[in-house]
Amino acid sequence: MREDALEREIEEILGLRERREKDSELYKIANEVFDRTTKETLAYFHRRGKIKELYGVISTGKEANVFAGVDDRGERIAVKIYRTYTTEFRRIWEYLAADPRIGYLPKDMRKLVFVWARREFKNLQRAIKYAVRVPEPRAFRNNVLIMEFIGGELPAPRLKDVEKDLEKTDFEELYDFAMGVIERLWKRGDMVHGDLSEYNILIHEGPVVIDWSQATVKRNRVSLELLRRDLANVSNYFRKKGVEVEDPEEKFRELVEG
């Protein structure tokens, strides 16, 4: 695609052609992180109606930025765009190298990130199969992942953001939810999230588990370590909130042996 045509399409996606000002946060972040591949990929989705517009920034991180948008049918979407240049290269490489589902590992960082994005998409599809509430995955290509937007007018808050307003019984319910997720994933899905915490649970008409980039399968040689980590994090958090939690090591043995 010609450079100027591509730029025009990106401006359309960002709503710059009409109303949005060039000093908005959206524009700044886009300018900083949309490289050529990202622009081409967004244009690809735009032409197919999967992304009509991106209208806001939900989150900026080391590894990815998450945008709020709409598709051609007017449905809201969350678009996770992984940085093609990241200081997390080493960590990503190690996680992928341990995953038995991944055959060939590209040496090139950009292509490695594509594999990382595809893996998160697959993880979301797999988690849904085992009745874990997650943002429904819609599409992925290169470093761009489109999924269901979780939230109302605004993006849903994380458990960490709303904890001050919760009561003991809420924490008890959420603890049961989190343990149920760990158990179902492991026993039925042969899978582990690997980063389950108050930061990766959104609250919107109940809890929704996000951020599946590091999730993997039981066959992975590090899966036990990840399972143990999830159990420890969840137990520590809810213990501090006054929940009578099960002993995570005992739960670990039960899951692994049972």
Residues whose CB falls within 8 Å of the CB of residue 34, separated by 6 or more in sequence, listed in order: 10, 42, 81
Least Å distance between CB 162 and ligand ATP?
12
Crossing angle, helix 3-13 and helix 36-47, to 10 degrees? Answer: 70
The reply to whether 99 belongs to the active site is no
211 is catalytic: yes
How many Cβ atoms sit within 10 Å of the Cβ of residue 242?
Answer: 11
Burial of 23 (0-12, 13-18, 19+ CB in 10 A): exposed
Q: Which residues pair with 234 in a beta bridge?
A: none
- By the rule CB under 6 A, 149 interacts with ligand ATP: yes
Using CB under 6 A as the binding rule, the residues of this chain from 5 to 44 that contact ligand ATP are none
- Annotated active-site residue in 99, 108, 165, 211: 211
**C-beta closer to ligand ATP: residue 13 or 58:** 58
Exposed (0-12), middle (13-18) or buried (19+): which is 3, by Cβ within 10 Å? exposed
Closest to ligand ATP by CB, 19 vs 90, is 90
Residue 33, CA distances (Å) to 65, 76, 136 in order: 8, 22, 25
- Which of 135, 137, 189, 248 binds ligand ATP (CB under 6 A)? It is 135
- Other CB atoms within 10 A of residue 58 CB: 18
Of residues 117, 156, 182, 243, which one binds ligand ATP by CB under 6 A? 156
CB 109 within 8 A of CB 84: yes
Residue closest to Mn ion, measured at CB: 211
Closest approach of ligand ATP to the CB of residue 159, in Å = 10
The catalytically annotated residue of 99, 195, 230, 247 is: 195
Is the Cβ of residue 156 or residue 245 nearer to ligand ATP in the bound state? 156
**Residues within the interface to ligand ATP (CB under 6 A):** 58-59, 61-64, 66, 78, 80, 135, 147-151, 155-156, 158, 199-200, 210-211
Catalytic residue positions, numbered:
195, 211
**Residues within the interface to Mn ion (CB under 5 A):** 200, 211
